[in-house]
Chains A and B, each alone.
Chain A
C-alpha cells in the first residue's frame, strides 16, 4: 500500500472521529456551509447556490441532555441526538439548515430547530406523500421555491448551468460510492461494513469535490489489498433508516458476520440513484428525489392484485440488493419512535420471508448503552443462520 493510499484511510478515521473537522477548517477560509439531514434534501441545489451541504450527524456515545430541554422523548432519538449536538455548538459552522418533510419527527420539530438555533437561513421542504403526476408537479414547484429562497439568501439567482454542473458532480460521487460497494461483492469482501460505512458517512461532511477525491484515494488503497483482511462469514444486509454511527455494524461483524450491503439512508438510499442529465434539471431532481428514492415515508399506491405483488412493488429494491450481494440474512434495524419504518416492520418482514431470507428485527434507542442487549440477539441470529 503506498503512502498516499494508507493516509486516505487514516484521514477517513480522523474525519469520522472529529466529525466536521474539515468544514471548520474551510469555514476559517471563508467557505459557507448549510446543514441538512435526511436523504430527501436535494444537495445539488445547495451546491449550485454556492454553499457546501453538510449532513448533520448524531453521536450514540454522547448522552442527550440539552436537546431534551426542548424536545420530548417521543421524538426520534436519532434526530434528538442531532439536535442536542447542534445546541451544544458542534455544528456552529453551518449558517443555515434545511429540513425536509420526511418523517413526523422532522416535520413537527422544524420550528423548534428554527427558533432554537436562530440561524440566518432555515428552510423546510414540503414533500408530498404520493408519487402521482400531480404530486411530482407539486414537488417540482416546492423545489423551485427552495431554489429561489436559497438564491435570495445567497444574493444571486441559481443559473441552470450551475445546477447541471452540481448534478454531474453528485452523479460522479454516487458512481464512486458504488465502486466501493463493488468491492463488497467478493467473499470475503475486500472492505468491512463498518469501514465502508465510515467512508460513506464522512463523505457527506465534505465538499463534494473533496469527497470525490477521497473516494478515489480510498478506492486506490483498497485495490492495493490483494487479500481481504476479513474471514468468510455469513453475509448480512442491514435494512432501516439512517445509521450514522458504525457501532452497530461493528457489533454485527464482531459477532462473526460480514456486513456486505445495506438498504439505509447513508448507504444505497443516498448513493444508488443518479439524477438524470437529460431534459430539465428541476424535472430530473424531482423525479430522483420523490419517485425513485425508495423510503417508507412515501406512500406507493397498491400495484397488482395480491399482497405479494404489492410487497414486490414496494420492497423490490431490497430483494434486488439481496441477490446482487448474495446476502444470507437481513437485520432490520429501526430506532424507537421511527414512524415510517416502525409501521412497515411487518410488511418488510413478510417480504423477506417470501424470499426465504432470514430476518432479525432490532428496535434500538440511539445509544451505545444498548450494545449488550443487541449482542445476544445478533449472536443467536447468526447461530441460527450459520
Chain B
C-alpha cells in the first residue's frame, strides 16, 4: 500500500525532507543545499527511503517546496514554502495565528486563521537584510560557531545598539564596534535586537495575533528568539525542529493528496 507521503524543502542554505504515514513522522533529515539542488533532492529522497526501509512504490505522493522546489524532478506537486510552513506549524500548534519564518534568503511573516488557512503574508525585501543571513555574517566576523551565537548573546548585560538593517553594513558596523572594544556577547545581543525589531515589523504589517510562532533556521538561535520576545512582549512558540516545518507541511499536503 502506497500510504506514505513525502515533503521535500529545498532551501537556499539547507534542504529538508520528511516522510510520514497516516499518523506520524517516520523520518526527517536536514542537509546543506550546496550548489546542486537536484542532487541534494535525490540524496534526501534516498536517505528517507533507506532509513525507513521503503521503496519508491510505497510513496503515494511527494510535494516539493522551497526556493529550489522546481529542481525536484520526482515531485508530484510543488507548493510555496509559505503555504507549507502554515500547514506544518498549524499541525503542531493549532493555536498559532502569526508565524515568522527566519530563512537564509528571506524572512516571511504570515497570518493563519483558526482552520489553518493562510490569510496574509509578507516577505522581507530582496536583499539579505532582515534574514538569517546576517547571523552568518556576524558569526564569521566574531569567529563564533553559528550554533553558539544564542547562548553567547544571552550572557550580554550591556547591549550594543545597531543602527543598520543591512547585512553588509552590519558587518562593517560590527567591525567598528570591535575596534571600539565592545564585547562579543554585547555585539551579538545588539544584532539580535536589531533583527528581532525588523522581523516584528514584518509581522506587524500582516497584523499580529496570538499565538506567535517562529520557524526556519533562524528560530534555532535562542538569543534571537529571546530578543523577539522582548520586542513583541509575547511568548514565542518555537517548534522542536524549526527548520523542518515547511517540509512537514509539504508532507501533510502530500498525505492529503493521497487520501483524495
Interface of B is mostly: mixed
Q: Within 8 Å of chain B (Cβ to Cβ): is A317?
A: no
Tell whether, in the assembled complex, residue A380 and residue B126 are in contact, meaning their CB atoms are under 8 Å apart: no
> Given A376-B67, A380-B118, A380-B121, does the pair A370, B83 have CB atoms closer than 8 Å?
no
Given contacts A383-B118, A384-B118, contact A376 B123 (CB under 8 A): yes
Instruction: State which residues 74-88 of B face A: CB under 8 Å.
Output: 79-83
Could you write out 24 A-B pairs with CB less than 8 Å apart? Answer: A370-B126, A373-B126, A376-B67, A376-B81, A376-B82, A376-B123, A377-B121, A377-B123, A379-B80, A380-B80, A380-B82, A380-B83, A380-B118, A380-B121, A383-B79, A383-B80, A383-B82, A383-B83, A383-B118, A384-B83, A384-B117, A384-B118, A384-B119, A384-B121
Chain B residues, CB < 8 A from A376: 67, 80-82, 123
Closest to A255 in B: B80
When C-beta atoms are compared, the residue in chain B nearest to A386 turns out to be B83
The residues in A between 358 and 379 inclusive whose CB is less than 8 angstroms from any CB of B are 370, 373, 376-377, 379
Q: How close is B124's CB to chain A, nearest CB, in angstroms?
A: 11
Q: Which residues 44-93 of B sit at the A interface, judged by CB distance below 8 A? A: 67, 79-83
Interface size class for chain B?
10 to 19
Across the A-B interface, give the 4 residue pairs with the lowest CB-CB distance, nearest first: A380-B82, A380-B80, A384-B118, A383-B83
- Contacts of B126 on A, CB cut-off 8 Å? 370, 373
Interface residues on A, range: under 10
Known A377-B121, A384-B117; 6 more pairs at CB < 8 Å: A370-B126, A373-B126, A376-B67, A376-B82, A380-B80, A384-B119
Q: How far is the CA of A17 from the CA of B190 in the complex (A)?
A: 51
Q: Which residue of B lies closest to A383 (CB)?
A: B83
Chain B residues with CB under 8 A of A380: 80, 82-83, 118, 121
- Chain A residues near B81 (CB-CB < 8 A): 376
With a cutoff of 8 Å between Cβ atoms, the chain A residues found around residue B118 in the complex are 380, 383-384
CA distance A379 to B84 in the complex (A): 12
What chain B residues lie within 8 Å of A373 (beta carbons)? 126
